[in-house]
């Protein structure tokens, strides 16, 4: 009999020492191939080159459309249950990289309703986090002509009619088997809302390849949506997925979280705070003593400072390879590695924070990213709502 997994990965819980290859078997996804990585636009993104995005579902139609200058889109969302940290933001900068190089349409849904169902927080708290998170997303610098930001409760006139149509395609048995026993009926219904998120670009623009770059724990949402997309009554393609590993927490292997006691580096942290968190909390792969480290070297595979640089915060492949080599040899010390990681992260955050400070009011900035009335009408019509007069009252 195969050994029992000693980890849990679901949209609502990530625990244990994750075997990413084993997850591919469990979820039925495929490893991202060398040939597929080469099809991403130059210069290839570190998240792809370094196998952080390591698995996929139907990524080829998206890459082919991007290469041929044909219509293609990305959906990457945010659940506003707290302040954003560095683990939350890198998928959005990845989406901007694709938009800048291939004109990708980017759709960003905010699942404020799901977070209210899931978290012990008031509607007011979720609303406050939504506003703060929106400002961080706007600071990324997306092209408003090719980006739409949707907030479930604020755009309920279009999101919930579509979710109602898709909800009829999903049985409670499917929800239970995919997510476990939901805590409330809101979470039972939410997979239909998530399917609306993932199919929304096609409902607005017509059938085309869509890619969902997400952490691997969110893959169940894609699987349920792909089953809905397969129904002949909807003229949509199954959305593809690009699945990533987790950015580790400061305390070591595992998913970085802003909702538990583990420290995390927030997008609002200043330089001093970043250095303090890295120096104090970043798990080291080095030896306990200087002489021992010089003799035996360190392990970059578990060193959090190195992993931060490897995942996102060091552009040069030659540099990360050199750091890994010198760390293993013992010529690079854990403290030196921490200082490099803190410096790069602080520089990144300062640039992000400067762009955020330069924004105008949220209402004015967000307006240019909102759905137009014609886009709302097109989405409702393609999902089977030819007459929207009732929802407009």
HEC letters along 142-195: CCHHHEEEEECCCCHHHHHHHHHHHHCCCCHHHHHHHHCCCCCHHHHHHHHHHH
- Minimum mean pLDDT among 259-263, 269-273, 310-314, 381-385: which range? 259-263
Strands across the sheet containing 240-244: 30-31, 53-57, 240-244, 210-215, 73-75, 105-110, 147-151
pLDDT exceeds cutoff 90 at 92: yes
For residue 391, the model assigns a pLDDT of: 47
| Chain Cα centroid distance, residue 181 | 24
pLDDT band at 393 (very low <50, low <70, confident <90, very high): very low
Q: Is the pTM of this model over 0.75?
A: yes
pLDDT band at 216 (very low <50, low <70, confident <90, very high): confident
Domains (ranges, CATH) in the chain? 7-245 (3.40.50.620), 257-357 (1.10.240.10)
Cα 328 to Cα 260, 295, 332, distances in angstroms: 32, 10, 8
Beta bridge partners of 213: 242
Structural contact between residues 216 and 20, judged by C-beta atoms closer than 8 angstroms:
yes
**Sign for the pseudo-dihedral over CA of 90, 96, 102, 103:** positive
Tell which wins on pLDDT, 380 or 260: 380
Tally of CB atoms within 10 A around 270: 13
Which pair of structure tokens corresponds to residue 272? 């001093």
Per-residue pLDDT, averaged over 60-68, amounts to 97
pLDDT digits 0-9 by tens, 374-384: 999 999 988 88
Distance (Å, whole) CA 57 – CA 110: 23
pLDDT band at 1 (very low <50, low <70, confident <90, very high): very low
Virtual torsion, Cα 33, 59, 371, 164, nearest 10 deg: -130
pLDDT exceeds cutoff 90 at 390: no
pLDDT digits 0-9 by tens, 133-164: 999 999 999 999 999 999 999 999 999 999 99
Tell which wins on pLDDT, 383 or 116: 116
């Amino acid at each position: 009999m195969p050994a029992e997994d000693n980890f849990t990965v679901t949209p609502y819980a990530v625990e244990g020492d994750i075997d990413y290859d084993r997850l591919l078997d469990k979820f039925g996804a495929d490893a991202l191939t060398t040939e597929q990585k080469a099809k991403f636009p130059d210069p290839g993104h570190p998240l792809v080159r370094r196998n952080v995005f390591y698995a996929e579902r139907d990524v080829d139609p998206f890459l082919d459309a991007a290469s041929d200058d044909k219509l293609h889109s990305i959906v990457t969302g945010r659940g506003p249950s707290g302040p954003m940290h560095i683990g939350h933001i890198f998928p959005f900068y990845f989406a901007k990289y694709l938009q800048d190089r291939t004109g990708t349409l980017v759709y960003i849904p905010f699942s404020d309703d799901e977070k209210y169902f899931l978290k012990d927080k008031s509607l007011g708290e979720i609303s406050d986090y939504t506003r703060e998170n929106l400002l961080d997303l706007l600071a990324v610098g997306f092209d408003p002509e090719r980006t739409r930001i949707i907030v479930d409760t604020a755009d309920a006139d279009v999101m919930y009619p579509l979710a109602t149509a898709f909800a009829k395609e999903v049985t409670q048995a499917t929800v239970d088997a995919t997510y476990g026993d939901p805590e409330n009926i809101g979470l039972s219904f939410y997979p239909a809302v998530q399917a609306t998120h993932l199919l929304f670009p096609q409902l607005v623009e017509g059938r085309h390849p869509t890619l969902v770059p997400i952490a691997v724990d969110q893959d169940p949402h894609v699987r349920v949506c792909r089953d809905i997309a397969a129904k002949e009554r909807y003229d949509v393609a199954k959305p593809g997925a690009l699945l990533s590993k987790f950015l580790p927490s400061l305390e070591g292997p595992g998913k970085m979280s802003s909702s538990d006691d583990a420290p995390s580096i927030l997008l609002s942290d200043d330089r001093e705070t970043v250095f303090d968190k890295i120096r104090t909390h970043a798990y080291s792969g080095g030896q306990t003593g200087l002489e021992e480290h010089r003799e035996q070297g360190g392990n970059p595979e578990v060193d959090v400072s190195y992993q931060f640089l490897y995942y996102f915060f060091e552009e040069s492949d030659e540099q990360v390879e050199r750091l890994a080599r010198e760390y293993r040899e013992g010529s690079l010390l854990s403290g030196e590695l921490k200082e490099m990681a803190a410096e790069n992260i602080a520089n990144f955050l300062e640039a992000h924070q400067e762009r955020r400070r330069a924004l105008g009011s949220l209402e004015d900035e967000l307006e240019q990213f909102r759905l137009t009335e014609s886009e709302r009408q097109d989405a409702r019509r393609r999902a089977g709502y030819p007459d929207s007069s009732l929802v407009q009252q």
